[in-house]
Structure 1
Amino acid sequence: MLLGMSTLLLVVLAPTALLQVARMMVMNLRDRRSDELVDKRTLPVIIGYQPAVRVIVAGQFVAYGLLTLLAVLGWLRWLTGAVAAGGPDDRSGLPRGCPGRRASQ
Structure 2
Amino acid sequence: MKQTLILIATAFACLMAAGCASTPFIRPAVPPQLERADTTLTAACNRPVRLTVEMTQRNIERLWTADRKALIDCGKRHGALVDFYNDRDARLRGTE
Q: TM-score, normalised by structure 2?
A: 0.40
More helix by share: 1
Q: TM-score, normalised by structure 1?
A: 0.37
